[in-house]
Structure 1
Amino acid sequence: MVEFEQIKGFLFDLDGVIANTSTYHGIAWHQLADELGVKWTDDLGNQLKGVGRMDSLNLILKYGHKENAYTEEQKEYYANKKNENYIHLLDSLDKSQILPGMEEFIKNISDHGYLISLASSSKNSPYVLEKLDLAKYFDQRVDPATLTHGKPDPEIYTRAAEVLNLKPEECIGLEDAVAGIKSINGSGAISLGIGDPRILSEADINFEDTSQVTLENIKKALNLSYLG
């Protein structure tokens, strides 16, 4: 594992890392699952974290044993309907939805000269960043429409480093979902998990909540991991 001094960039997931937009995704997917006759559970909701729109729909259909019940055209319709519900929910989004400490952390790493990119599977991420007044801090973002594979495939994090003209090994990726941690690890970047360390056990370093995410804490955790 690299030492902290070798880090030049940070790669961010959005939902559940920067803001509470994961809650809005959950509500919109729950609405759609009800319409499709698939029983919603916390387990299903957790499986959808960090996963792209069509992959999430396919997971819902598989969960309800309906994977062969719809044509691709019908699935596109339902995926778009979920997105419309989600965008409607975002109308109420503002800076109050930024998770504790994350605005300060993003501003701090920008002030210290680190490059920052967004590695979100959400096609609505530019709109969300604008609503949160955080877009100005992001040097680049990955357009999920250009990707061939979704998380846990490493493609999005490999690209997130690439758009900054950095190697993944020079970057730290932040995620709150198992699929996202696997994606970061596969790219070769350092994975920082935010959440229950028992669930995010594959993360290189872990903080239980966003308020703990500071440059100093990351440096300590990373150098301890390096020494270990």
Structure 2
Amino acid sequence: MAKEIKGFIFDLDGVITDTAEYHYKSWQKLADEEDLFFDREVNEQLRGVSRMESMDIILDGQDVSDEQKKKWTDRKNEYYQVYLEEISKADILDDMEAKLNKLKAEGYKLAVGSSSRNARKVLKNLQITDIFDTIADGNSVENAKPAPDLFLHAAENLGLKPQECVVLEDAESGVEAALAANMKAVGVGPEGRVGKAHLVYADVDSIDFDEILKKL
């Protein structure tokens, strides 16, 4: 089976780096200013979800115009942009850079498949943009995860069929998107969140690509 795998598509946040705390602080700042309920539990529901969908989750049915929601999400993004300036190569999770370079040296095609519209900026600050053959982000497709569009777009740019790709994801919506795309899914995180994946690793450090290639 391993010979069928020709490429790997990586979610960015939670797999390559962890900007979750920056997202949390940005949403919390906006929520405090606008007197919206927000806490860690609500924040957990935003994992892998687009900015506007995140706003809807926070509003929890409150009647707010699209124009107002756009203003709020833009402001949240401004806060997030400031936090992003703090990111550097030191923020790459565990030995992920070494793992990426090994896969590339072995001839596998590599892509980023992230819902974030800031993915390119994050990768630039991490200094690993050139490792990837293509970057699919929140600007690439209209339908965000759990729709398969983002990963299908990445595979197309890699010149690969969906079944030739493995997706690494830390969000439930991302795992669902990978499965909907007819790709192999590797979940990174707790079973309760990513348990639908074909293989699950508790954290980035424990990811074993030799095992992935052997089992998938």
Identity %: 35
User: In structure 1, which of residues 131, 151, 156 is the aligned counterpart of residue 150 of structure 2?
Assistant: 156
Give me the whole-angstrom Cα distance separating, in 2, the residues matched to 1:183 and 1:123.
18
1:207 aligns to 2:201 (yes or no): yes
Residue of structure 2 equivalent to 1:75: 69
Following TM superposition, by how much is the alpha carbon of 1:219 offset from its aligned partner in structure 2, in angstroms? 2.7
Residue of structure 2 equivalent to 1:27: 25
Following TM superposition, by how much is the alpha carbon of 1:162 offset from its aligned partner in structure 2, in angstroms? 1.0
1:60 aligns to 2:54 (yes or no): no
SS in 2 for 1:198: helix
User: In structure 1, which of residues 171, 174, 178 is the aligned counterpart of residue 172 of structure 2?
Assistant: 178
The count of aligned residue pairs is 216
Residue of structure 1 equivalent to 2:123: 129
1:103 aligns to 2:103 (yes or no): no
Give me the whole-angstrom Cα distance separating, in 2, the residues matched to 1:22 and 1:151.
17
SS in 2 for 1:188: coil
* Deviates most, 178-187 or 148-157: 148-157
Residue of structure 2 equivalent to 1:43: 41
Gaps of 5+ in 2: none
For normalisation by structure 1, the TM-score amounts to 0.90
Deviations 1:170-220 (A, max 9, x none): 000011010110011100110000011232110110110101123213234
Residue pair 2:175, 2:187 contacting (<8 A) in 1 also: yes
User: What is the identity, as a one-letter code, of the residue corresponding to 1:154?
Assistant: P
SS in 2 for 1:152: coil
Give me the whole-angstrom Cα distance separating, in 1, the residues matched to 2:176 and 2:107.
27
CA RMSD of aligned residues (A): 1.3
Residue of structure 2 equivalent to 1:226: none
For normalisation by structure 2, the TM-score amounts to 0.95
Residue pair 1:102, 1:213 contacting (<8 A) in 2 also: no
Deviations 1:137-159 (A, max 9, x none): 01011242241211111111111
User: What is the identity, as a one-letter code, of the residue corresponding to 2:89?
Assistant: K
Residue of structure 2 equivalent to 1:6: 4
User: What is the identity, as a one-letter code, of the residue corresponding to 1:24?
Assistant: Y
User: What is the identity, as a one-letter code, of the residue corresponding to 1:56?
Assistant: S
